[in-house]
Every structure is written in structure tokens, then in C-alpha cells.
Structure 1
Amino acid sequence: MTAAALDHLANPDLLPLLGRTPLARIRTPLPLPQPGFWAKLECLGAGGMKARSAVAMLRGAHARGELDPGGTVVESTSGTLGIGLAFAGQALGHQVILVGDAELEPSMRQLLRSYGAELEIVEHPAPEGGWQAARLARLREVLDRLPSAYWPDQYNNPDNAAGYHGMAQELISEINELDVLVCSVGTGGHSAGLVEPLRRRWPGLRVIGVDSVGSAIFGQPARSRLMRGLGSSIHPRNVAYRAFDEVHWVGPAEAVDACRRLSKGCFVTGGWSTGAVALVAAWAARTDAGNTVATVFPDGPHRYLGSIYDDAYCRTHGLDPGRAASHPVEIPHPEAVEVTGWARCRTVVDPLEVRP
């Protein structure tokens, strides 16, 4: 057996480490006092939140014969799925090639390489579709070079959502009653994977999607975004639009403010997605007093020490937490106005759906 083959032997002993993350009660004012909500701390799981979907996607590909034992896996990532795929690659025995972009932090690049992943970095965003479109174009070039490699296509792969059914069962076993679920939306995977089993348990469950200002997912125009990990310049088909009762767009100043309040108030914090969902979950808990609210904190703070938690970075980008909105502006329809800060809309549309 070659040295390369030895490098990619499966290590199934990793798989029992997947999931079973803690559930924390968050009562920190965000920014106003609120009665508390539950947060699933995915940063404390091996491989992070997206290890769940990465393992599910590779196992699904095995079952369909799309991925050979020891085959190469190629995917586009802004970082979080990359960690998950590195975990899945080691557990299931696959070399992983990740296509990132110039905004991928040096520390994340080092971490991904330390886990055995190879990186392809694009240096410029595409004129249309930004960094995501540029990464997907490079990914297709890699697939042309490696025609036997497997592309999970996280944005459109139903196994992405299926990977979160286990998290749903964990929540069902941990919470007696759930009235409101707040989910960040990027690929659409974890929200789609949670909603169906949770609504079987609690049919009246309300679901709030949390997007980034400048994201096209829910019908706003695509713009350059500071926030990574949620939002998209494309329209992922894993997004379960009909599952959402409303959507909130959160700006970077609000996310920074929420993250810093979390770090000082309850020690549990994270990145852009964590700040955004924490803000909206606190709003939901405060607005509907007596309701049980839960959300998912996708990652921890470490990769954001040079951005969210860096005063110089925040000054450079005009992110003054003191000027962050304390409540959302309500708009009647996603196409009514382009939002620039925290906004709420109770009309949820699929931008690609043909309407009369």
C-alpha cells in the first residue's frame, strides 16, 4: 500500500464524537433585557456543526455509488464546512480538496491544512455572484482535472439537511416544549434538516430565518458582505422557504454587538452567525414572553479574533456596537426596500419561484 493510500485510511473511531453538543440557557441582554432562550453549542462538537452534514453527504454518496472508497472529495467553502469535511474525510477515509477565497483567514487556512485538507484559493470575486461564484468556477476547474472526484454540492444536496436530523432528536430529548426556532441561513441545510422532525413533535412551531444584509437568499439584492457563514450571493436549493414564518436580516454592527455582549455576559459566544441568531432569538423571547425559544450557535469565537473582537477592524469598517439597532425595522415584502441593517419581514418568498 502506498504512503498516499495510508494517509487516507478511514478512522471510524472518530464517528462517535459527532454531535451530542451541550444546550445552554442564554439570558444576556441582547441588547435589551430578555427572559432567556436555549442555544445549541455546535462549536463544542468535533468537527463543528457542519461535520454533521459532511458525514451525511459522504455517506449518501457512498450508498449511491457516487464516491468510491478512498476517493477524493472537492468542495467550495468559506471555512466552516471545510472543517466538517476534514473531519468526515479522516473518519471515512477520503482526501479532501477545499476551494476557498482570499478572505479565508490565515489561521483557518493553517487549521484546514493541519487536518490534511488541500486548499485552492481564488484571489478575486466574480463580477456576478461574488466570492461564491468565483469559488464554484475554480471548483469546476478542479473537477475537470480530477474527473473521478466527488463534489458534495452543499447548496443543493438533500443529504446536507438530512445530516441535522440527529440534532433535531437531541433537541427533542433536551427540551420539554418548543415554540420558536431561530436558524441562520446559508446553504439552508441545518434549518431544513431541523424543521420537519421538530414540527412533527411540536406542530405549532414558528420558524424564523436569519439572513445577512446583502444576501440574495430571501429576495434582497446581492451585495458585498462582511459577514461570513450566513447569507449567499446565489440561491441554494436546500433552503426550505415554505418552512419559515418570517425572516430577519441582520447587519454586521448588530452581530458584533451581540457577539461581544455574549462574550462578556455568559462566556458563550461565536462568529457572525452566532451573533445574528442570538440577537433575533433574544428579540423573539422578549417579544413573545412565555414562549420557549431555541437556536443554534454554529461556531465559536476563535476565527473571529481579528475581526469581530478586534477594535481596529471594527473602526476600519465602521462597526460601532454603540450604534447597533435595538429592534428590527419591519418591511412588508423582501422587494419593498433594500435593507441596510436589522430588518424583519413576515412575507417569505423563494426568489426563483415563478409568481403570477
Structure 2
Amino acid sequence: MTLAPILPRRAAHTANPDLLPLLGGTPLARIRTDLPHRHPGFWAKLECLGAGGMKARAAVSMLTGARDRGELLPGAPVVESTSGTLGVGLAFAGQALGHPVVLIGDTELEPSMRQLLRTYGARLELVDRPAAEGGWQAARIARLREVLRRTPGAYWPDQYNNPDSAAGYLTLAAELTTQLDHLDVLVCSVGTGGHSAGLAGPLRRRWPRLKVIGVDSVGSAIFGQAARPRLMRGLGSSIHPANVAYEAFDEVHWVGPAEAVDACRRLARSAFVSGGWSTGAVALVAAWAARTQPGAVVATVFPDGPHRYLGTVYDDDFCHAHGLDTCALAVRPLQIPHPHAAEAAGWARCATVLAPTRGGAA
């Protein structure tokens, strides 16, 4: 079967620049929920309350940078791989800047997210099986290259390796410097590496002694563990994104899905603000940092809200089917001396941060 080229509808060319002032400007919430123990509290930047979510910042930055360099022509299609969150951000950026958006997802993408992306005007293509090496991400990238070949003039932002992604979070860093008088510890989820890279530099210039903790998923290859199938989406990776600023991290934590679900549900019940896998994982680690470093000011970013995850994180049948309701939850991280010393099956931490693609300690 010959696949037809993807041609944008004429209406998709119309830019809506009035959307751009809606970007960012998100509030900070003080979180004191027991996670799972009491702690002094930490600050959470609520990116779920910004138009397009956290990754709209990166999406606008990547498309604007490409337009300025002449790589993205007016009205040209934008094609990208996504597990969901960046897709929403690109749908926002596409409408604001006047570009049709084609997203490559996979069949693990929640039905509600598929519907949302299509509702926002994006065209969605799904791959139905992971690649033997590189998992779903590699399979999506292979399909993406097929789509690029049959879509004249299309632009691929390549979120994993595009420095404009990190640059998009400079506004987030600037907001934090105005909202906080001081910051000792920053906790960042790590997937593509964009927001941690964009925050660490400017915040360390403001507070030179800032400690940065990366939060990864069990089964992720980013920080030197072996890649294996992951239930959690939105953080972790089967590949090594070039955007990850390994040298910025003082330590890394790997969090399992059961711990993330428990944290999300605790947040929803008592703090009202919650989210998905990334939110649960960073909340768990931020609470640990606040508890183990008395007097430290700790902050993190909640990338999105809970609505996408009503059929997973907040669904009892889903959690039961995946054994998340019977897991023995870790109440503190298992400390390992080196990323290769042990495979993290649940919450673990390591103060040796490696850059796998460069073969050494950062």
C-alpha cells in the first residue's frame, strides 16, 4: 500500500499569536502531604495550570528557533514523536504560530490523550509494537522518518537532541527566581532532559550552591541502567538524549510505578494538586529531600495534571492488573554506589552520575 503524503488543511496555516501571552506564569504550591512520611514541605511549580502544560514552553521555543533559522517555513508541517505531553505543547505551539502538527505516538498512549491531541487539531499516527532495541521510542522514530519522507517541507524538532528545548525553560527559571527568595535543592524529572538542562544553569547562577537531583524511572537507560519495558510514561528513556545535562546533577533517583502511584494519590487526597507518573516521582523525592536536609528550601516541577491518568494512575483496576496495589512500597531509597552496581527495581538513589554516551562520570 502506498501512503499518501500528509497535506495540511488550509485552516491550519492561520496563526493565532494571541495564545502566546498565555504561556507560563504558573503558580507555586506549598506541598506538605505525607509522602509517605511527614516532611517540612517543598515548593511545586504547577505547570499543569499553564496553557499547553510544561512542554508548551519547549515547543514554542523549538518552533520559533527553527523559524528564525529558516529551517521551518511559514505554514509548514511539524512532525514529532511523543508519549503525550509534548504533543499537547506542540498542538499549542502549532496553533499559536500557524503550523499543522503531525504526532507519532504508540498504542500505549491513553485513549483520552489520543482524543485530546486530535481535538486540538493534531494528526496522530500510532505504532503498534516496540522496536527490538530502543523500545517504543525507537519504533516511533522509525515511523517518524517514514512520515518525513512523504511530507514535503516538514520539520522535525527532535526534542531529544534540540538545544532550543532547554532554552524554552529559561522563562520557567526566571519565574522561579522571582517566586523564591532562596533555593537549596531542585528536583527534576528526566525524560528528554530539556527542563532540567534549562533550569539548572540559570538557577545555579542565582544560587551557586544549589543541589540538583534527577528523577528517572526504573527500567530507563538515561543514567546508565539497562533499558527494559517501563510502565511509567513521561520520564525515563530507552535512548540517551543529547539534551540531558549530566554534569548538572548531584545525584539521581530511580522511582518505581507503585511508589509514583502512591504519591500521586496522596497528593490528590490532601493537597488537591496532583498529576501523573512524573509528578508522583518528583513529589516523592522532593519530600525525601526536605525530610533529610532540615532547613533546606526544596522545589520541583509538576509537569501536568491528573486528568490524563484517570484510567491508569487513578484507576483501581489498572493498578490491580499491574500489581501496583500489592507491591511493598519503599519508604526510603535504596542507596547504590554506582549505576552499574545493581539494577533498580524500585526506589533507589546514586550519587555517582554517569553520562553513558560519553562513558564517564559527569
Decide: shared fold, TM above 0.5. yes
Residue 53 of structure 2 is aligned to residue 48 of structure 1:
yes
1:353 alignment partner in structure 2: 358
Output one character per residue of 1:206-246: Cα deviation in whole Å (capped at 9) or x when no partner: 00000000000000000100000000000000000000000
1:158-169 → structure 2 map (5 Å cutoff): 158-169=163-174
Question: Sequence identity of aligned pairs in percent?
Answer: 75
In structure 2, do the counterparts of structure 1 residues 268 and 123 end up closer, same or farther at CA, with 3 Å as the change threshold? same
Which of 213, 235, 244 aligns to 1:239? It is 244
Per mean C-alpha deviation after superposition, the further-off stretch among 2-11 and 214-223 is 2-11
1:316 alignment partner in structure 2: 321
Separation (CA, whole Å) in 2 of partners of 1:81 and 1:132: 14
Where does the alignment leave 5 or more consecutive residues of structure 1 unmatched? none
Separation (CA, whole Å) in 2 of partners of 1:355 and 1:329: 23
1:287 alignment partner in structure 2: 292
Separation (CA, whole Å) in 1 of partners of 2:119 and 2:326: 34
1:274 alignment partner in structure 2: 279
Residue 217 of structure 2 is aligned to residue 212 of structure 1:
yes
Q: Does the CA-based 8 Å contact 1:75-1:139 persist in structure 2?
A: yes
2:208 alignment partner in structure 1: 203
Structure 1 residue runs of 4 or more that deviate by more than 6 Å after TM superposition: none
Which of 251, 255, 258 aligns to 2:263? It is 258
1:72 alignment partner in structure 2: 77
TM-score by length of 2: 0.96
Q: Does the CA-based 8 Å contact 2:42-2:298 persist in structure 1?
A: yes
TM-score by length of 1: 0.98
Offset at residue 312 of structure 1 (A): 1.0
SS in 2 for 1:296: strand
Residue 123 of structure 2 is aligned to residue 127 of structure 1:
no
Offset at residue 6 of structure 1 (A): 3.0
Separation (CA, whole Å) in 2 of partners of 1:119 and 1:83: 12
Q: Does the CA-based 8 Å contact 1:211-1:247 persist in structure 2?
A: yes
SS in 2 for 1:125: coil
Separation (CA, whole Å) in 2 of partners of 1:3 and 1:34: 51
Amino acid at match of 1:141: E
Which of 165, 180, 185 aligns to 1:180? It is 185
1:187-198 → structure 2 map (5 Å cutoff): 187-198=192-203
Offset at residue 195 of structure 1 (A): 0.6
In structure 2, do the counterparts of structure 1 residues 333 and 39 end up closer, same or farther at CA, with 3 Å as the change threshold? same
2:68 alignment partner in structure 1: 63
SS in 2 for 1:51: helix
Separation (CA, whole Å) in 2 of partners of 1:325 and 1:247: 16
Residue 11 of structure 2 is aligned to residue 6 of structure 1:
yes
2:235 alignment partner in structure 1: 230
Offset at residue 355 of structure 1 (A): 4.3
Offset at residue 322 of structure 1 (A): 6.8
Offset at residue 179 of structure 1 (A): 0.2
2:3 alignment partner in structure 1: none
In structure 2, do the counterparts of structure 1 residues 237 and 337 end up closer, same or farther at CA, with 3 Å as the change threshold? same
1:19-168 → structure 2 map (5 Å cutoff): 19-168=24-173
Offset at residue 8 of structure 1 (A): 2.1
Per mean C-alpha deviation after superposition, the further-off stretch among 90-99 and 313-322 is 313-322
> What RMSD, in angstroms, separates the aligned Cα atoms of the two structures?
1.3
Q: Does the CA-based 8 Å contact 1:256-1:321 persist in structure 2?
A: no
In structure 2, do the counterparts of structure 1 residues 197 and 264 end up closer, same or farther at CA, with 3 Å as the change threshold? same
Where does the alignment leave 5 or more consecutive residues of structure 2 unmatched? 1-6
Q: Does the CA-based 8 Å contact 1:245-1:346 persist in structure 2?
A: yes
